[in-house]
Structure 1
């Protein structure tokens, strides 16, 4: 069992997931083909790059677990081998929350195939592979969730080719979401602004609802 990502913690990684999700929720109005790139199912954050790599970060009250799959790597890894050294609470959490999202369908059956995983305990992250190897096997898909806030904001601004007003809106909504753990409601002016930018904002509204963000009609 090896300590990894010692420059960040659970709260920071959660915040980067929220930032990514809000950028996606705003800009999916422009890029509707990216609808399935990111999505939340309660406290499980799913993401993929449409090039065969996907992952889920499952959050509990204090900790998280992340499971990753690279379809370009033919053989999967045994989750119990990758979880060696984890306590029973972590093992149960990974198996019940994160692993089901890695179900792959084939001709005759369904199976769970994973390439890498890591988990947190306290302020530390652990894995049973070296940090460099984990990142390489999953083509650095985790990078936006490991950046500093400013670097992550720049990454998503560039990725979605946001205008300055769009980037400011993302940061405004992000700050409101981070400050509240429960449901939040945004004013009608947000919906009006999205409607000025994009012809169809239904995917935007749906993505916001996944994060417990409602927007007035």
Structure 2
């Protein structure tokens, strides 16, 4: 098993920052709304090019699993077990969370059986993150999709999302404002003001609907 240089707070911050940036900018890119979403404690991410993953945030435990269609592990039962082996020595609570939460978006039918079809996996209890793969191998087999999220809310991550979505300064400022409000009151509903909504620059009904839906997954309410 490999110990991974992953920080719990940093990955949480990175996922929140990424999903707020995504939610705000779906106003302009509704066709890409599928790339990031939240389902309760599960952060789901995919790139439309064959990589998808789910990160489950459950109290002190984080479980992250990924599927990369181009990985040589996919559909090879021996190689697929490389990822599953990461759970062999995990505490029972990690097994339970992986089965009940993380694997749900990664199930597929193979030889008549519905199984989690994954190519990379890691988990952490408190700040002790481990995997059967090194970080390099995790990235090779799917975890590269969260490379920016692993940076947390650093200048590099902020610049990445600013450039990725071609944000205006007003949009970038709003994303950071919502991010800090979310961290200060993670379980409270956050309401966007009319002035903030205007700064998003909504352009059509589809964009409005996708933006509102993505924000609501984060407990952020866009004004009617």
Common fold by TM > 0.5: yes
- The structure 2 residue matched to 1:36, chosen from 28, 31, 34, is 34
1:210 maps to: 217
2:196 maps to: 190
**Contact kept in structure 2, 1:144 and 1:155, CA below 8 Å:** yes
Shift of 1:199: 2.4
Indicate the SS of the match to 2:53: strand
Shift of 1:117: 0.5
Q: Over aligned residue pairs, what C-alpha RMSD do you find? A: 1.9
Q: 4+ runs of 1 displaced by more than 3 Å?
A: 105-111
Shift of 1:142: 1.9
Structure 1 runs not aligned, ≥5 long? none
Indicate the SS of the match to 1:140: helix
Shift of 1:110: 4.2
Shift of 1:157: 0.7
- The structure 2 residue matched to 1:168, chosen from 173, 185, 191, is 173
1:152 maps to: 157
- Is 1:99 aligned to residue 106 of structure 2? no
Structure 2 runs not aligned, ≥5 long? none
Indicate the SS of the match to 2:148: helix
Aligned residue pairs total: 214
With normalisation by structure 2, the TM-score equals: 0.88
Matches of 1:121 and 1:140, distance apart in 2: 21
Shift of 1:80: 4.2
User: Could you report, residue by residue, the CA deviation over 1:76-100 in whole angstroms, capped at 9, with x for unpaired residues?
Assistant: 5236423122111111111111011
Indicate the SS of the match to 1:69: strand
Residues 111 and 85 of structure 1, relative CA distance in 2, 3 Å threshold: closer
**Contact kept in structure 2, 1:190 and 1:215, CA below 8 Å:** no
Residues 36 and 105 of structure 1, relative CA distance in 2, 3 Å threshold: farther
1:51 maps to: 49
Matches of 2:125 and 2:70, distance apart in 1: 30
Matches of 1:121 and 1:139, distance apart in 2: 18
**Contact kept in structure 2, 1:10 and 1:63, CA below 8 Å:** no
- The structure 2 residue matched to 1:19, chosen from 17, 24, 40, is 17
User: Could you report, residue by residue, the CA deviation over 1:107-136 in whole angstroms, capped at 9, with x for unpaired residues?
Assistant: 966442100110001212110111111111
Residues 51 and 139 of structure 1, relative CA distance in 2, 3 Å threshold: farther
Shift of 1:47: 0.2
- Is 1:125 aligned to residue 129 of structure 2? yes
With normalisation by structure 1, the TM-score equals: 0.91
